[in-house]
Amino acid sequence: MKLPVSETFYSIQGEGVNVGRPALFIRVYGCNKRCVWCDSSYSYEGGSYSLFSEERVIRMIEQSFVKTVVLTGGEPAIYHDFFSRLIDLAPAAYFMETNGTIWIEDLIEKLDFISISPKLSSSGADFDIGLIKRYVDNVHNGEIKFVIADMQDIEEAIGIINALSNKKNAVSIVFQPAEISGEDYLHQIQMVYQAIMKNQFLNSLKTLRFIPQVHKLCNLK
């Protein structure tokens, strides 16, 4: 099997609790959702892609001076069998960013970090609470990342947090303001910040983190 790749690049991680960490990003082509504010829609429609053989991906990782690999998309879980083999063949630290709607039995133990991002109402997509719980119960190092556009998203995120088992204490809970086309991102950050600061429940969570997209604020890739 060949992997459809939208792009590969070196940068720092701009989102979540690993912000600032240098990484080689592998952005796959293809996604099972269509979020209205998606900032990488070129990775599932309209954009171009190349088919990478397993040997080509292994060579790229072996030749990389950065030894953290971020599997992103699109939705990388679609290609879990490819990545499961890759991790066995090309040693590195592997992180994955997923919407949490595809289960990855063969991969979950092998990944060094998983960012699980349930798509809330403002996205126009949906999430599967059963699968989100399963991810949180099985991940050994990760975060649950809520992309927040409005107050309804915050209420929905709180509902998900309440539905999770106590194992949620092992993952960071990240609130990330959404970047909405035509809106000022700093204004969006302020809105989400104000809402979180007023929320007693969220502030009581030891693992809560409020983290805007740093690469966008700094105009990095």
Interface residue list for ligand SF4 (CB under 6 A): 31, 33-35, 38, 40, 73-75, 99, 119, 125
Structure tokens that stand for 141 in this block: 């190092």
Which residue's CB is nearer to ligand SF4, number 75 or number 88? Answer: 75
Q: How far is the CB of 36 from ligand SF4 (least distance, A)?
A: 9
Residue closer to ligand SF4 by CB (options 167, 221) is 221
* Token pair listed for 28: 């796959």
Q: Which is nearer to ligand SF4, 97 or 111 (CB)?
A: 97
3-state secondary structure at position 95: strand
Q: Is residue 63 classed as helix, strand or coil in its secondary structure?
A: helix
Q: What's the rounded Cα separation, in Å, for the pair 33 and 74?
A: 9
What whole-number distance in Å separates Cα of residue 120 and Cα of residue 153? 6
Q: Is 102 helix (H, G, I), strand (E, B) or coil?
A: coil
- Residue among 14 and 73 whose Cβ is closer to ligand SF4: 73
Neighbour count for residue 134 (Cβ, 10 Å): 15
Q: Which SS3 state, helix, strand or coil, does residue 23 take?
A: strand
Of residues 27 and 168, the one with the C-beta less far from ligand SF4:
27
Distance of closest approach, residue 127 Cβ to ligand SF4, in angstroms: 10
Closest CA to 144 of 108, 118, 183: 118
User: At CA 96, angle to CA 79 and CA 45, rounded to 5?
Assistant: 55
- Tell the smallest beta-carbon distance from residue 111 to ligand SF4 (Å): 17
- Nearest residue to 72 (alpha-carbon basis) of 38, 46, 106, 110: 38
The least distance separating ligand SF4 from the CB of residue 84, rounded to whole angstroms, comes to: 21
Q: Minimum CB separation from ligand SF4 for residue 200, in Å?
A: 30
Between residues 100 and 195, which has the closer beta carbon with respect to ligand SF4?
100
- Shortest Cβ 61–ligand SF4 spacing (Å): 22
